[in-house]
Every structure is written in structure tokens, then in C-alpha cells.
Amino acid sequence: MDTSKLVVVASDGENYGSTTFWEGTGASVQASEANKGLLPDGIPAPSAPSPVAALQRAMSGLAGVRNNHEVGLSRPYGKTRAHGKRALVVERSDESGLTHSTSFLAETVRIEGVGDAEATYELKIHGATPEQEAGLRAAYERALGQLEPTDLASWLVKEVVPVLDGVSLRKHGGFYYIPPQAQPRLAAVKAFIRATFVGAVVHSLPTVRSEEAVAAVTSAIVQEIQDLCLDFAEKSADGKYGKRALKARELDLENAKAKLARYEALLGAALPQVHEQIEEVTGAICAAQLAEMATAAE
């Protein structure tokens, strides 16, 4: 889709929504200093990083150039990156090439709590000198309460755009269409960002109703729901969803159907083929739920 054809200059004063994007990621801030009162209801404030992310950031901060022939590298170890295990690896270069040795290991260990919100973690460090351990613990504690520029971008994409009923105008993001009814809440989000992330700017360019604009937004909502349906269908067929996940996907499809209806009303166009896709995947989810129930009853 060629988003350059989307008209973003107001002409008749009507509110047709906006094309929204952001630039400048701002400086790091303490999560506790964010003025959450500026946010409208339904939009959560950016969350402080998880212990896993905090450890990764702390380790990355300790890594870097040691001298002309030695570099510290932060690397994951264990089964997956999500396990919260990092190694500080020393890379040395000489005439024979590159060699690597592990300086020390660190991991976040879950010690109590059932859900993620209730869980608490302990930082365990193995093989570090007292100076290295003290430096890592201090960096880890700072990272736990600090919002980085990447947190702002992630929050906007994952939390704000969906709540504002927006759609991405490009497959890999960057430019988003926000419909008319969400403009007051978007304005509140922009005020929050100005007050919290110095240097970050969210631009909202008023959209004019034109053939190009309607085509771009139609393509965006169709692409979003088709991608959702394809992902759900593949994972359902592969048996990757359990009982709770299937129920959650069923709700996601209901929300997608409602969002599609809102965009059909906004665009003045019916999209029956997309409704058919939603119904097909809903049927597959229902079949998977019946199979799950049958398996549990055996």
C-alpha cells in the first residue's frame, strides 16, 4: 500500500480522524514520575520493565569496550531469551582471531506469586567479582523503575493504538490511522507524552475523506483482521492453544468483528469477505474447544 497517497491536509473542517506517527523517543524517566492522571480511562500507563528486561538492560550497560583488544558482550543463555538468564562474555581479539570467555552469569529467579502481576523475583549472580556484582545489582535496581525510549514506542503500539481503535497504515507500523471518535483521547495521550517524555513528539495530521484515504484505511483494517485470522487458524490447527487460550482467541475474534463493523460504518463500505474469514476461524476455534473438552473428559 502506498501511504504517500493518503491525504492529510484538512479542507472542510469535518473530523475524519487523523494519521498519527511519532518521532524523537525522549529521555529515560522514572516510571513513578509519569503523570498518569493525564491519561484517559481505559489506557494504562507505560509499565516499568519486567525483571527479565531490567537484567538485560543492566547487563548491556556493563558491556562495552574494555580496551583495544577486549570487548564485553551481554548474551542470553539457557533455553530461551525469556528465561531471564544473561552472561557477560569477554571477547578478545589477537593475531589468532577471536576468542570468547564467560566473565560471569546472572539470572532472575521467580521466588513467589502465581500470576505475573503477583510474582516476585530475585537476582542471582554467579562468578562475578564483588565489584562486578555491586555494579550489576545497582544497575538492575535502576532499570527496574526506569522507562526507556523503547518502552514508549512499545506502549504506543501495543496499548494505545488498539484502545483508540486505530489501524496501522503500513504492514510494519510507523503510521497509524486513528478514527474520529478517538481524537479527544488521542489528545490526552499526547499531553501525557509531552509531560513525561521530554523530546518525544506525537504528530496527528487531520485526514480528509478522499478515494485515496478511504482505500488506504480499508486496506489497513482488512490487512489487520486477515493477519489475525491467519495466525489464529494456523495455531489452532497445530494444537498450540489450550483451553484458556482458545477462550481468549474467541473473545479476540468477537472484538475483531465489532471493530470491522465500526470501520464499515466509518468508510461506508461493506466487507463481507472479511466477515467470512472471521466466521471460518471462529468455527475452527469452536472445533478446537470441543476437541479440548473431549480430551479432558477421557
Convert the pLDDT of each residue in 20-45 to its tens digit.
Answer: 999 866 678 888 877 777 898 889 88
CA distance 270 to 263: 9
**Is the domain of 138 the same as that of 193?**
no
> Does 79 fall in a domain?
yes
Residues 218 and 80 occupy one common structural domain: no
Tell whether 140 and 226 lie within a shared domain.
no
3-state helix, strand, coil in the chain (%, to 5): 50, 20, 30
Name the domain boundary from 92, 125, 144.
Answer: 144
What is Dmax (Cα atoms) for the chain? Answer: 70
Domain end residue (candidates: 121, 144, 167): 144
Q: What is the pLDDT of residue 67?
A: 62
Q: Quick one: 222 and 252 in the same domain?
A: yes
Angle CA(43)–CA(58)–CA(161) in degrees, nearest 5? 20
Whole-model pTM above 0.85? no
CA dist., res. 88 & res. 132, Å (int): 10
Q: How many domains does the chain have?
A: 2
Does residue 223 form part of some domain?
yes
- At which of 123, 144, 165 does a domain end? 144
Structural domain includes residue 297: no
Predicted confidence at residue 69, as pLDDT, reads 65
182 and 267 both lie in a single domain: yes
Query: Residue 295 domain-assigned?
Result: no
Show Cβ contacts of residue 42 under 8 Å, excluding neighbours closer than 6 positions. Answer: 163, 185
Q: Is residue 270 part of a domain?
A: yes
Please tell me whether residues 126 and 163 are part of one structural domain. Answer: no
User: Residue 166 in contact with residue 156, Cβ under 8 Å?
Assistant: no
Residues 201 and 96 reside in one and the same domain: no
Spatial separation of the C-alpha atoms in residues 232 and 216, rounded to whole Å: 25
Query: What pLDDT was estimated at residue 21?
Result: 93
Q: Where are the beta strands (DSSP E) in 97-256?
A: 97-112, 120-126, 146-147, 167-168, 176-178, 201-206
- Taking Cα atoms as reference points, which of 254, 263, 262 lies closest to residue 229? 254
Residues 132 and 272 in one domain: no
In-domain check, residue 226? yes
What is the pLDDT at residue 68? 62
What distance in Å separates the CA atoms of residue 250 and residue 7, rounded to the nearest whole number? 36
Range of the domain at 231: 3-45+150-288
Residue 38 and residue 60 in one domain: no
What pLDDT is stored for residue 288 in this prediction? Answer: 84
Asked if residue 130 and residue 260 are part of one domain, the reply reads no
Taking only the tens of pLDDT, the chain with its 298 residues reads: 444 444 333 344 578 999 999 986 667 888 887 777 789 888 988 888 888 889 888 888 877 656 666 677 787 876 655 567 888 777 777 777 677 677 778 888 877 655 555 578 889 988 888 988 999 999 999 999 998 888 888 999 999 999 999 999 998 889 999 999 999 999 999 999 888 888 888 999 999 888 999 999 999 999 999 999 999 988 887 777 888 888 999 999 999 999 999 999 999 999 999 999 999 999 988 888 888 777 766 6
Cβ of 34: how many Cβ atoms within 10 Å? 19
In a domain, 37, yes or no: yes
Q: How far is CA 20 from the centre of its chain?
A: 17
Has residue 293 been placed in a domain? no
Shared domain check, 27 and 123: no
Clarify whether residues 126 and 195 are in a common domain: no
